[in-house]
Amino acid sequence: MKRIRFLTLHPAGTDVDLTKDEGQIPYTLCSNYPIDAKIVSCHINNETANLNAVPGLIVEHIPYIINNAVSGLLYLILNSKKIDWLNIYFAGRQAYIWTKVFKKLNHKGKVYLKLDMDFRSSDLYDKNKREKNIFSKCTEAVDLVSVESEALKNRIQKYTSKEIIVIGNGISKPKFYTNIKQPRENTFLTVARLGTKQKATDILLQGFAKTADMHNWNLKLIGTIDDNFRKYITSFFVQYPNLKERIQFLGPINDRERLYNEYCKAKVFVLPSRWESYGISCAEAVSCGCRLILTNTIPPAKEMTNGEKFGEIIEVNSVEALGEALLKESSLQVTYDDIDEMVNYANIRFSWDEICGKIYKNMKSEESL
């Protein structure tokens, strides 16, 4: 059987992307199917430890020329005939130009476009006719297009005649397996770029402060802290000095075993983001048996919580709604059977093997047309 040459073109990609969809999709496809896969980038360091997450995947480094779009275009001009399936991200001018050039140079070549978008993009298409037309042209030029949640598909399918399939993101489970059934702490946990507008850490702190006298739980925050947010933290603890011992800023945790251990010690994971395309930390958390509190601006919130069976979906930017959810979750009695159910659900729902099986099936269907 002829092997399929699958290439993810991601000039802007960095080392961390190897553990995300950009790296995990080509890696899983070439591990499970008759596919030779590679990822092409200007910025991935060939010595990065993250290569351990994609053993055997070819990582090709290309020169950065003018910008990422031009770098990718020049690569396609020189290499299109060596590619059977071109995998690109984000609908827009860059993806449209890359697709047209690739198909001009390789008439038999196929393109898989992964949208990787959030609700802001769909809102833009509602308001901006030009951007909507670019989205339509881009999606209709490719052979396979996917989005990460049913909620987003329901919003954007009307803008293209191309059938959009729903393919979520998976989690890169570590080779070790942290003790899921270790004793759980009365802890709310978040993992994010703390203090950025997107992650709404201010809402999380205010929601915790509002309810702190009504429960005995603590709050742990993992991630880098935006420099502009440090003054906010200082003033917050001036206002709530009694919470200093109940709120811990642990900094970034790059060691996956340590990070997963924190997931497995916590009872509830909270992500009150103002916007997200996916929120992979939510999937990591539920895979470790954490219940979830997510905002309704996270497109796959319904899938993450299994229709709110495993947590709450709340209004964005609402301290009141978050406080109510914190109180509700702190009062629940979660058993080890409940934790097993969440872990088993996540191991199937967010399995890269399952996800890439769906991608491969759709690729083969396109090839048979």
Same domain? For 198 and 345 the reply is yes
Same domain? For 138 and 235 the reply is no
What is the reported pLDDT for 176? Answer: 54
Same domain? For 155 and 210 the reply is no
Q: Cα 282 from chain centroid? A: 9
Residue 234 counted as domain residue: yes
Same domain? For 157 and 222 the reply is no
Same domain? For 315 and 245 the reply is yes
CATH number, domain of 89, equals 3.40.50.2000
Same domain? For 213 and 262 the reply is yes
What is the reported pLDDT for 111? Answer: 98
Same domain? For 164 and 206 the reply is no
Same domain? For 205 and 147 the reply is no
Residue 120 counted as domain residue: yes
> What is the pLDDT tens value at each position of the chain, 369 positions in all?
789 999 999 999 988 889 889 999 999 999 999 999 999 999 987 777 678 778 889 999 999 999 999 999 999 999 999 999 999 999 999 999 999 999 999 999 999 999 999 999 889 999 999 999 999 999 999 999 999 999 999 999 999 999 999 999 998 766 555 678 889 999 999 999 999 999 999 999 999 999 999 999 999 999 999 999 999 999 999 999 999 999 999 999 988 889 999 999 999 999 999 999 899 999 999 999 999 999 999 999 999 999 999 999 999 999 999 999 999 999 999 999 999 999 999 999 999 999 999 999 999 999 876
Q: Which amino acid is at 110?
A: K
Residue reference for tokens 């699958």: 6
Q: Is 93:101 a contact under the CB 8 Å cutoff?
A: no
Same domain? For 118 and 191 the reply is no
What is the reported pLDDT for 117? Answer: 93
What is the reported pLDDT for 310? Answer: 98
Same domain? For 109 and 257 the reply is no
Same domain? For 206 and 320 the reply is yes
What is the reported pLDDT for 105? Answer: 98
Same domain? For 73 and 214 the reply is no
Residue 175 counted as domain residue: no
3 vs 263: CA distance, rounded Å: 39
User: Could you tell me the residue range of the domain that residue 76 belongs to?
Assistant: 4-170+352-367
Q: Cα 272 from chain centroid? A: 15
Residue 129: burial class (beta carbons within 10 Å; 0-12, 13-18, 19+): exposed
The tally of domains found in the chain comes to: 2
What is the reported pLDDT for 292? Answer: 99
- Name the nearest CA neighbour of 53 among 81, 28, 82: 28
Strands of the sheet containing 110-114, edge to edge, are: 58-61, 35-41, 4-9, 85-89, 110-114, 144-147, 165-166
174 vs 188: CA distance, rounded Å: 23
Residue 281 counted as domain residue: yes
What is the reported pLDDT for 174? Answer: 62
